């Protein structure tokens, strides 16, 4: 069990790659914090994985703060953060894309990653370090038709070490 006794938060972990990562971490012994905007769905998966859950909208700073307050009060530390939550706006072309959809994609896919990385790194630093993994997408490097907001937001996903991506750096 590679992750025995580790505390891991996987954002967007009620479906797709986030759910797969959460399941793999749980199999390897981690206590996984299941995150979603939907509390009931997150709680069900957390029960299945013997983990914990919390519902939060990553585009809202106060909800991200509440998520990390929960982690600190219940688990006292965080060893792993995987940012996999993502919003994909409608497949409208850039000329038809509503500003609200553009703003929501940037708020969740970019600002949400910033906020969770910032909170996680502070907790990890207090406890000797940890790992932060930000899931991006190939469309972050090259756009596809009807995916302008998604491509821009995924292309901007940051490296938590502030020194560039391409390897592990201590927090």
Q: What is the pLDDT of residues 39-96, one digit of tens each?
A: 999 999 999 999 999 999 999 999 999 999 999 999 999 999 999 998 877 777 888 8
The more confident residue out of 91 and 148 is: 91
CATH number at residue 38: 3.40.50.720
> Which of 54, 68, 102, 150 is labelled catalytic?
150
> Within a domain: residue 169?
no
DSSP string, 16-84: HHHHHHHHHHHHTT-EEEEEES-HHHHHHHHHHTT-EEEE--TT-HHHHHHHHHHHHHHHS---EEEE-
Contact at 8 Å (CB) between 36 and 17? Answer: no
Residue 149, both tokens: 């907001």
Kindly state whether residue 61 falls inside one of the protein's structural domains: yes
- pTM of this structure: 0.84
Position 2 in a domain? no
The pLDDT value recorded for residue 162 is: 46
Decide if 76 is inside a domain: yes
Which residue range is the domain that position 118 belongs to?
A: 7-155
Q: How many CA atoms lie within 13 A of 63 on its CB side?
A: 17
150 is catalytic: yes
Assigned domain for 164 exists:
no
- Would you state the pLDDT for residue 89? 72
The total number of structural domains in the chain stands at 1
Domain membership flag for residue 78: yes
Domain assignment of residue 64, yes or no = yes
Count other C-beta atoms under 10 Å from residue 148's C-beta.
20
pLDDT score at 167: 46
Q: pLDDT confidence of 166, banded at 50, 70, 90?
A: very low
| DSSP 8-state symbol, 8 | E
Average confidence (pLDDT) over 110-122: 95
């Amino acid at each position: 069990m590679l992750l025995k006794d580790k505390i891991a938060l996987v954002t967007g972990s009620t479906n797709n790659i986030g759910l797969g990562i959460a399941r793999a971490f749980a199999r390897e012994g981690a206590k996984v914090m299941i995150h979603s905007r939907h509390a009931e769905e997150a709680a069900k998966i957390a029960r299945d994985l013997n983990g914990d859950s919390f519902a939060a909208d990553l585009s809202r700073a106060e909800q991200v703060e509440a998520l990390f307050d929960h982690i600190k009060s219940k688990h006292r530390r965080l060893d792993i953060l995987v940012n996999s939550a993502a919003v994909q706006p409608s497949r409208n072309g850039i000329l038809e894309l509503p500003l609200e959809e553009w703003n929501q994609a940037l708020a969740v896919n970019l600002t949400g990653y910033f906020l969770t990385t910032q909170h996680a790194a502070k907790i990890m630093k207090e406890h000797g370090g940890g790992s932060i993994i930000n899931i991006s997408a190939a469309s972050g490097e090259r756009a596809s038709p009807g995916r302008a907001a998604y491509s821009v937001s995924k292309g901007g996903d940051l490296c938590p070490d502030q020194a560039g991506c391409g390897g592990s750096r201590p927090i």
